[in-house]
A and B are shown apart, each in its own frame.
Chain A
Amino acid sequence: MADGQTSHVEAPPGGSGFGQSLDRVTLERARHGEMAAFAAIYERFSGACYTLALRVLGEASGAEDIVQEVFLKMFATIRGFRGDAPFGAWLKRLTANATIDVLRSRQRYREDDVEALFESIPAASADAEDRVDAWSLLQRLPPRARAVVVLHEVEGYTHKELGDLFGQSESYSKSILARALKRLGDEEGVDAGEHDDE
């Protein structure tokens, strides 16, 4: 969907895939630096990392960079993973942090100005060619709003956690989510020809 190399797969029952478990033997082998164990971890979780990054960034090359960065970091730090939280949750945090860092590096508007955030990408006009599906709706949001929607609505982050991730307040995250969902609702209506563009 995002490019010629990316393959779209059926969603597993466990959501985006971070909820999958990792057996202790593979984890221990990875801690000892076995590449075969890393390969097994990549096989299991790379899709989840890539999907999260692609949903937020909206471009395959940026998402691949995130996956690469996350797995290189995982290689370097897995010895310090104590297993207090599930492995997938740890990897999700690495992925979310890396993705937010990329968003921050690309920031062109005042970070604390929610209005400016949404003005940076005006609401799309109705286009008969557009597919009205969750993906195309999501991609009409500004990247930071996509991040809030994906992390909150799909990955289960709280507004407090999102506020911390962005270096902002909890209400900042709530405000972005409310605006994002409003726009998603409005645009779906526009595409469906139900009411005017906002």
Chain B
Amino acid sequence: MPESMTMNEFGGRFDPTRLPEFRPDPALWARIVARQQQRVARRHWQVTGVLGVAMTAAFAVVLVSPGLRRVTPDGGKHGAAQEQSRALEREWSSLASSRGANAGTTHLRAIDAQLQAAYDRGAGVEEISPLWQRRNRALRGLIDDLRNGVADRGDGITQI
């Protein structure tokens, strides 16, 4: 009792060592456990919610980020040209493999590089659309050359 002398100085007879000890209601522990379980469950749902939001946000970034569209080109304003380009590429690949010809693609790869560079710097539709159209013309040229049996002429045949 650090202040017991002070207490006596004031003439008090209050003896803190005689204060009673108590035990809480026996049901309190069950209430605390229930509350803890609620907290854990709430935290679980919060974490799940945060993960869900994070995944949605990441998905949205993939969709809208120009830098990432090179991996998954979007189907937005250039959708028709891209779809046509894919169809042409499938057709050309099929013809080229069946005839053992793979020449004349230098110009096509150059256009692909320009497209990639345009996406990387976030170029607008006015720059990208013409590139897709150029790519499609290049593919048509390759396909025509293969059908006409001039694949062996070299890269010069795909001049657009």
Contact pattern, B 1-38, Cβ under 8 Å of A = 1, otherwise 0: 11110110011111111111111110111011101100
Nearest B-chain residue to A192, judged by Cβ: B13
Name the B residues within 8 Å of A60 (CB-CB): 24-25
CB distance from A119 to the nearest CB of B (A): 19
Q: Which residues on B sit within 8 Å (CB–CB) of A75?
A: 36
Given known contacts A10-B21, A51-B22, is B12 in contact with A149 (CB within 8 Å)? no
Chain B residues whose C-beta falls within 8 Å of the C-beta of A9 in the assembled complex = 20-23
From B2, B10, B20, A185 is in contact (CB under 8 Å) with B10
A-B pair number, CB within 8 angstroms: 124
B39 at the interface (CB under 8 A from A): yes
- Whether B22 lies near A47 (C-beta < 8 A) is yes
Residues of A within 8 A of B21 (CB): 8-12, 16-17, 47, 51
Q: How many residues of A contact B (CB 8 A)?
A: 49
Q: Which of A12, A50, A137, A186 contacts B24 (CB 8 A)?
A: A50
B19 close to A46 (CB less than 8 A): no
Q: Is the interface of B mostly helix, strand, loop or mixed?
A: mixed
Minimum distance in angstroms from B18 CB to a CB of chain A: 4
A-side interface mostly: helix
C-alpha gap A177/B29 in the complex (Å)? 34
Chain B residue numbers with a CB within 8 Å of A116 are: none
Q: Are A6 and B14 in contact (CB under 8 A)?
A: no
Contacts of A89 in B (CB 8 A): none
Residues of the B chain whose Cβ atoms lie less than 8 Å from the Cβ of A39: 29
- Are B14 and A138 in contact (CB-based, < 8 A)? yes
Contact across chains for B18 and A46 when beta carbons are under 8 A apart: no
Q: Is the CB of B28 within 8 A of A67?
A: yes
**Is the beta-carbon distance between B31 and A68 smaller than 8 angstroms?**
yes
B20 touches A8 (CB 8 A): yes
Bound-state Cα–Cα, A16 to B11, Å: 25
Beta-carbon contacts under 8 Å, A149-198 to B: 149-150, 152-154, 156, 177-178, 181-182, 184-186, 188-189
* Contacts A35-B33, A68-B31, A181-B14 supplied; 13 other A-B pairs, CB < 8 Å: A50-B22, A63-B22, A67-B32, A68-B32, A68-B35, A72-B36, A138-B14, A150-B19, A152-B2, A153-B1, A181-B12, A184-B12, A188-B13
Can you give 9 A-B contacts (C-beta < 8 A)? A67-B24, A72-B39, A75-B36, A133-B18, A137-B14, A177-B3, A178-B6, A184-B13, A185-B12
